[in-house]
Amino acid sequence: MLATGRMAGHHRLMGIDDPLLPAAVHLTGEYADDALRPAVEHAGGSLVTFRCTQVHYRPGSELIARYRVEVDWGDGTPRRETLYVGTTRHGAPPGTIAITAPLHDSVLAAGVWRWPFDPNLPALERLARTTQMVLADHGVITSARPSVTVAAYRPTERAVLRIVDGERVWFAKLVRPEEAADLIRRHELLAACGLPVPELVGHDVDEGLVIMAELRGSTLRDLVKSDASPWPAPSALADLVRQIRTVDATDLTAMRHRLRDGPHHTALLASVFPAERNRLARLDEQLQHAIDDAAQREPTFVHGDLHERQLIVDGDRIIGLLDIDECGIGDPVDDVAVPVAHLRYRALTAPNAVRIHRYADNLIAATSDVIPSATAGVASAAVLAGLATSAFRAQTEDWPHRAGRVLDLIDDVLTST
């Protein structure tokens, strides 16, 4: 049990000091309850305990922290809840419970919300609480109590809920309403090109809701983790990358380019991991050179987030392609750099590390006609920089050690490139 009214054991997160986000230091330190408590009281409860369990931080842009809390709703029995508190360069995220405080000649502004009342995902609360009714609205008939679990949640951006009714399984993806039409179009375009994407069951563009049938089978990540055989030949993944490039949709832009994201990741790490600032500065310089080179490449249609968890496999065949939110015209290096980086990252803690690294090496070789091997290596370092932030974002106790190991891996990758 944490100490009532204060956060215990958070030596690793004693306030993120960002001059462009002046509220950040107050949202991530031991006195974060100064922001949480008014929102809880506004809803009729009393805050008992709180603990930070996740941080989404874009230096100079926004910060969102997740807190596991206990709230007394008046019956004397604390209940566990999940609260999010965020601040942006422009103040509180729109649609949240705004919390303000004067500071010298300015005003600190943050916003709080309670799961599942996400301000940018209007369908989330309705689907989480009345799953059967929402599915019935789209012609999907279920039992009285289908089970619902959260497969993924990126606050204010997207969520994925897994819905199970006996032997039947669906996935509901929730995005910002203005993004829903493009997501549906991506599914239709990729399916028309013969790519094995999930079947669309229903959608509501106004609410940002897309319902898909499950693609049954093991992911490549499952096989890599268990060291089961066989794995799809690197040439099979290379063929998939080439097939993705045949999609004709020049009006769809990839949501992010991995090389260009690299400096954002190094900036985040430098702000929370000052002991590594010199090494991060050297990495940033190398990534900036690679970004300049990327400007000379011809853009193509890419998946954008193609890693081992996105691939459903059957023996040595790839039979499913997941999570196509970021498909669009982008840097062709992404669909090689992303799977290579994720594989090398997994090898850090895997007993079959030698096999994984060899597989990644062979994937680079199999796609060398798409992207030169040296280019893929540098781009994978940018992806690894993003993965180096994951332990900090998840607020694991030993996140500096874990981040340092990834930076060591990046050094090895760049040395061998």
In a domain, 82, yes or no: yes
* CB contact at 8 A, 395 and 54: yes
pTM above 0.85, yes or no: yes
What token pair was written down for 340?
């290579």
pLDDT at 6: 45
H or E stretch covering 293: helix 277-294
Would you say residue 389 lies in a domain? Answer: yes
Domain shared by 400 and 306, yes or no: yes
Radius of gyration of the chain (CA): 22
Check whether residue 348 and residue 287 sit in a common domain: yes
Take residue 195 and report the two structure tokens written for it: 């790519």
**Do 171 and 268 reside in the same domain of the chain?**
no
Tell me if 3 is assigned to some domain. Answer: no
Same domain for 206 and 236, yes or no, is no
Q: What's the CA gap between 311 and 32, in Å, rounded?
A: 40
Q: Are residues 163 and 300 in the same domain?
A: no
12 within domain boundaries? no
Same domain, 366 and 282: yes
For residues 249 and 380, state if they share a domain. Answer: yes
Asked if residue 28 and residue 175 are part of one domain, the reply reads no
Residue 339 lies in a domain: yes
pLDDT digits (tens, 9 = 90+) for 268-311: 999 999 999 999 999 999 999 999 988 888 989 999 999 999 99
Number of C-beta neighbours around residue 42 at 10 A? 11
Predicted local confidence at residue 257, as pLDDT: 87
Question: What is the number of domains present in the chain?
Answer: 3
Q: Are 114 and 128 in contact (CB under 8 A)?
A: no
Instruction: Give pLDDT, residue 166.
Output: 86
User: Residue 60: CA atoms inside 13 Å, Cβ hemisphere, count?
Assistant: 7
Q: Residue 185's domain spans which residues?
A: 122-213
Boundary residue ending a domain (80, 114, 148): 114
Domain-located, residue 19:
no
Q: Is residue 13 part of a domain?
A: no
Q: What is the pLDDT of residue 137?
A: 85
pLDDT value at position 15? Answer: 67
Q: For residue 281, count other CB atoms closer than 10 A to its CB.
A: 11
**What CATH number did the domain enclosing 62 receive?**
3.10.450
Both 291 and 200 in a single domain? no
Which CATH number belongs to the domain containing residue 185 in this structure? 3.30.200.20
Residue finishing a domain among 98, 114, 130: 114
Are residues 303 and 410 both part of a single domain? yes
Tell whether 2 is covered by a domain: no
Last residue of a domain, one of 58, 88, 114: 114
Q: How many CA atoms lie within 13 A of 64 on its CB side?
A: 18
223 and 209 housed in the same domain: no
* Helix, coil or strand: residue 314: strand
Give the residue ranges of the chain where pLDDT is below 50. 1-12
Say whether both 252 and 126 belong to one domain. no
